Structure 1
Amino acid sequence: MNRSVRILGVPTDYGANRRGVDMGPSAIRYAGLADAIARANEQCVDDGDLSVVRAESTDPDRAPMQDRAKFLSEIQDVSERLADVVAGVCADGDLPLVLGGDHSIAIGSMAGAAREADIGVVWFDAHGDFNTPSTSPSGNVHGMPLAAALGHDEFADLPWAQASGLDPERIALVGLRNLDPPERAAIHDSPVSAYSMSDIDERGIVDVVEDAVGAASAGADGLHVSLDMDWLDPKEAPGVGTPERGGVTYREAHAALEQVASADVPTRSLEVVEVNPVLDSHNETAELACELVASALGERIL
């Protein structure tokens, strides 16, 4: 394809409850991201990192919703700037590859990708990220980005958090295995497509991801693909802040991203989040992230 993969790091941990995830972009680059992209026969340009003020120098209680949505004003600043960058990369005909940082960065990624296109979203995650400030037990915004993008509850009054025109029927969550009770109810009441690890156990990863991509692709100009590394089993990806036993295997993860690459609707934006090198072992989670990016871009064994 006549495009470049444009790498942008967003070294934030405003949305998380474990320090260290802000070093994720550096860890992924160090693990060989540029080489992985080259293996997928893609051109690569590294645009560096978005400037982010360290959380230690800010006060989470200054956020408009206080402890119900920690660091919300800081997350707004990052999200608005990230949305502008992602929208610009898409307008250039290139593919933004956003490196987290915690999953709250998806608010900006989705808003930017949706600015001039109808997008579908494929969300690989152990968690639903469907909480709102009033339902979240922690106040951590990395558990809220999908609710924010759809303008649920308190986010209805925050246009910066919303992905304009995003249709919940074009959102597919894959690999769920830990949901808060209000979040579970909200997903049940929403037209999003949601597939748990039980679905993957019963049907296999190929069938589940085929359905997920089909749902997200219907009527879409492109896909936003969000890969939270805690989607994988902690034995495969130990360097994450919220590990959950019983995740997908190494091969299942590659098979899923390979299906994304072969979808009829192209990937418009891609993000990899929640790599925490402080909790990792020999940077293996970041190395796996690089491999999965290559599969998402079309690398194959044969």
Structure 2
Amino acid sequence: MKRNINIFEFPLNLGLTKKEHETEPGVRKLPDWLRKFDFHHRIASKNVFRLNAPEYSMDFDEESNVRNAEPIIEYAKKQSDCILKNYEKNTFNIVLGGDCSILIGNAVALKKLGNFGLFYLDGHTDFIPPELSETGGAAGMDLAIITGIGHEKLTNIDGLKPYLSEENIFCCGNAETDDEEYVSQIINSKIHYYDLYHLRENGFRKTAEEFLKMVNDKNLDGFFIHFDVDILKDKIMPAVDSRMEDGISYDDLREILEPLFESPLCFGIEITILDPDYDKDGVHTRPFVENLIQIIKK
């Protein structure tokens, strides 16, 4: 990559419901965990910006039916300010979560910068209204929230609803295809939807190229990539909150990301859900870091 790289660290875990054995979800440790594997140094980041997250809680907000709605909104506003204050034109931004709810603050910032597309790479769609959520966790409905589905307090921060338009989004990699009601939400939207099997059929590079064509045809100001590591096959990345057996390989990931990274319109990528508590020896994190660095630095 010829552009300078900045890293933003947003270690938020309020979008996840903790499991019985947890005191809190370990995804908030992700930025520090990647630093242990020399990611920041090897990626040669020009700057690292960090916004510490509030303490974990499980508060259920009756108004929005979303857990921790108020602190997530406050954090999203601070996140957006952090990005807008520190981002530099023609710089590639790597945003480290945290859980998927960090997309809300990132999307608010993008809306303030212009009209952006989103390449959503995830083992789930995260596109459901609060009433279909079993947990009330914002991380399971972030794609819905940023496109305007759900309570106004989350979907209309600073009067910017929707932060991203459905028709400017590709959602790729969902492996949770058995639940008809879950899948019907995204099928009945204007989002370009490729579940895991459709993604394989269409081709990884081809799907990325179709997205880039859309971005250019619509003359968008740029695009952002969401990368939830649970899209990877369970055998290579089991250190996630919601495991699915099937997924993509690192070769598949390379095919998807390389054409996207090559585009000067790529604002950057957010990386979410890798939980160090489920990979204490780094067995899965080490190859993850190696592969990611190779793809980005190409």
Residue equivalent to 1:5: 5
Note if 1:86 corresponds to 2:83: yes
Residue equivalent to 2:110: 113
Give distance in 2, aligned partners of 1:132 and 1:243: 21
User: How far is the alpha carbon of 1:92 from its aligned partner?
Assistant: 5.1
| TM-score normalised by L of structure 2 | 0.87
Residue equivalent to 1:229: 229
1:55-134 residue pairs with structure 2 within 5 A?
Answer: 55=56, 58=57, 60-61=59-60, 63-65=61-63, 68-90=65-87, 93-134=90-131
Report the secondary structure of 1:115's partner residue. Answer: helix
Give distance in 1, aligned partners of 2:246 and 2:39: 27
Question: In the TM superposition, what whole-angstrom CA distance separates every residue of 1:220-259 from its partner, at most 9, and x where no partner exists?
Answer: 1111111100010111112111111110012111221112
Question: In the TM superposition, what whole-angstrom CA distance separates every residue of 1:112-138 from its partner, at most 9, and x where no partner exists?
Answer: 122122111001101101122122122
1:1-302 residue pairs with structure 2 within 5 A?
Answer: 4-18=4-18, 19-38=25-44, 43-47=45-49, 49-55=50-56, 58=57, 60-61=59-60, 63-65=61-63, 68-90=65-87, 93-155=90-152, 158-160=155-157, 166-178=164-176, 180-217=179-216, 218-263=218-263, 266-280=265-279, 282-291=281-290, 293-294=292-293, 297=296, 299-300=297-298
Report the secondary structure of 2:130's partner residue. Answer: coil
User: How far is the alpha carbon of 1:59 from its aligned partner?
Assistant: 5.0
Note if contact 2:7-2:47 (Cα within 8 Å) is conserved in structure 1. Answer: yes
Give distance in 2, aligned partners of 1:269 and 1:114: 15
Give distance in 1, aligned partners of 2:62 and 2:166: 27
| TM-score normalised by L of structure 1 | 0.86
Give distance in 1, aligned partners of 2:167 and 2:4: 30
Give distance in 2, aligned partners of 1:96 and 1:138: 31
Note if contact 2:250-2:291 (Cα within 8 Å) is conserved in structure 1. Answer: no
Question: In the TM superposition, what whole-angstrom CA distance separates every residue of 1:17-76 from its partner, at most 9, and x where no partner exists?
Answer: 3421111111122222124423xxxx52112x2121221xx4513x3537x311111111
Question: In the TM superposition, what whole-angstrom CA distance separates every residue of 1:184-242 from its partner, at most 9, and x where no partner exists?
Answer: 22211111101111113323322233223433553211111111000101111121111
Give distance in 1, aligned partners of 2:182 and 2:192: 14
Note if contact 2:119-2:170 (Cα within 8 Å) is conserved in structure 1. Answer: yes
Report the secondary structure of 2:239's partner residue. Answer: coil
Question: In the TM superposition, what whole-angstrom CA distance separates every residue of 1:238-281 from its partner, at most 9, and x where no partner exists?
Answer: 21111111100121112211121123x52113210001000125
Residue 59 to residue 188, structure 1, CA distance change in 2 (3 Å): closer
Give distance in 2, aligned partners of 1:281 and 1:234: 16
Deviates more, 1:177-186 or 1:22-31: 177-186
Structure 2 gaps, min length 5: 19-24
Report the secondary structure of 1:176's partner residue. Answer: coil
Note if contact 1:233-1:243 (Cα within 8 Å) is conserved in structure 2. Answer: no
Give distance in 1, aligned partners of 2:164 and 2:137: 23
Give distance in 2, aligned partners of 1:35 and 1:273: 20
Give distance in 2, aligned partners of 1:113 and 1:169: 16
Structure 1 gaps, min length 5: none
Report the secondary structure of 1:88's partner residue. Answer: helix
